[in-house]
Amino acid sequence: MTISVGKIGMVPTSSVTVSEYRAREIMGDLDGLELNMKESGLISPLAVKDNKDGTYTLLAGERRFTILSRNQVLEIPARIYEEDLSELEMKIIEKSENFFRKDMEFWELDKLTLEIHRMQQDIHGTKAPGPGQQGWSVEDTGNMIGGVSKATVSLAIKRAEAREAMPEIFDACKTASDATGLLKKIDEAILKQAIAKNLETKGDNKLLSQLSKVFIVDNFFEMVKKIPSGSMHLVEIDPPYAIGIKENKKKMGESIYTLEDYNEIPPSNYMDGGNDELWLGMNTVFKECYRVMTEHSWLLCWFAPEPHFESIYHGLVNAGFSTTRMCGIWIKPGGQTQRPEMHLPNAYEMFFYAWKGRPAIAQPRGSNIFDYSPVPSQQKTHPTERPIELTRDMYKTFAFPGSRILIPFLGSGNGLVAAHLEGMSAVGTEIGKGYKDSFLVKVNGMNK
């Protein structure tokens, strides 16, 4: 393969037209570049294609060309390509030249690497494994863009392909390290899916087999119809919060992948469901839970006090429950806020405890406060996952050993584990299959 260098010459600025083939999506700090060029001059020539009619098509150097044009520079030095170039070859010239610009975003460089690799494979074919094979390889791309290692190029290509397929997931990644970490999370989820399938098939883990049967992947509103009336001693509800939790968790640094299956509900549909066939509203949740509960039993409901305190309170009362505005409180060390200049960091969460009939608290305690450290964010499999020890404490406060527990929105599934450890039986639903896969892998690890 020979190196095409073109020839260097001066071309009239007015005769140059900008090519539509650009790798750069963000032009960056043109004012800063202009100041640098005024101090140091134009160090590198532009690249143009001679159209043979007195005009030239700009192949590379659009930012420099923009600055030269607005400073009314009449002639510019350029590397002139006189031979006929295919659309693909023009793209490669532009993208290769731009690769060495150090002010590009990491994802632009990833995308550029992928595009160069794909285009070279379009020209030369894909190199098959083995010595002496023809075609273009990842290693060839690395050599072309400056001796970059095969592993580095492979990772850049993988990040670019993932961003191409799931841009909304990767938008929150600020650095290449963030994107690589997210890739590992996705790979981990795929691995968990395979492991979970294998664990369920083998069936040699008694606890895992037992809990797998009561972790039901389904819509709660469909599943609850199959539960007999008056059969549950305790219900714990950790519903979607209708507060834009996905965006909030991303801003707080939560793993993006744990949010993908999270069922976000618009605030306008929260209590009554609107026209959503999958979400019938919290009022329906409370009514169905009241139906399936025994004559004297407890319901625990987590909620976002801002803005749903009164809505949840009245929803419980309208469904037939009695309750109190003096809620149960989970205290956790270290608060969080997105507006530290306006809001004090919040270090607690609240839950209503409501009752049907006149049940007795199973294990009286000294206060309405439950003090437990949260699950570290890097260990979470669900954005609102709570520690098993907290859930165990809540269950044994309100229910006796042997009680039957309904958990409408299982999330991480920790409630099933907590119930088992307290000698209770629980069943619940979760609409996201990925959360069950993570749950089964976790339970398998706990049982070793």
Sequence letter at residue 315: G
pLDDT band for position 261 (cuts 50, 70, 90)? low
pLDDT band for position 257 (cuts 50, 70, 90)? very low
Task: State the pTM of this model.
Answer: 0.60
Q: 3-state DSSP call for residue 357?
A: coil
DSSP summary character for residue 258: G
Domain formed by 202-446, architecture: 3-Layer(aba) Sandwich (3.40)
Per-residue pLDDT tens for 299-349? 999 999 999 999 999 999 999 999 999 999 999 988 877 778 888 988 999
Maximal CA-CA distance, the chain = 93
Q: Where are the domains of the chain?
A: 1-86, 202-446
Integer Rg of the chain from CA: 30
pLDDT at 262: 58
Per-residue pLDDT tens for 409-420? 999 999 999 999
Specify burial of residue 310 (Cβ count, 10 A radius: 0-12, 13-18, 19+): exposed
Q: Are 215 and 416 in contact (CB under 8 A)?
A: yes
More confident residue, 36 or 375: 375
What is the rounded CA–CA span in Å between residue 321 and residue 342? 36
Provide φ and ψ at 406, rounded to 5°. Answer: -110, 130
Q: Tokens 């749950």 correspond to what residue?
A: 439
Sequence letter at residue 224: V
Which H or E run contains 75?
A: strand 75-81
What is the rounded CA–CA span in Å between residue 114 and residue 167? 15
**Per CATH, domain 1-86 is 3.30.420.40:** no
pLDDT band for position 247 (cuts 50, 70, 90)? low
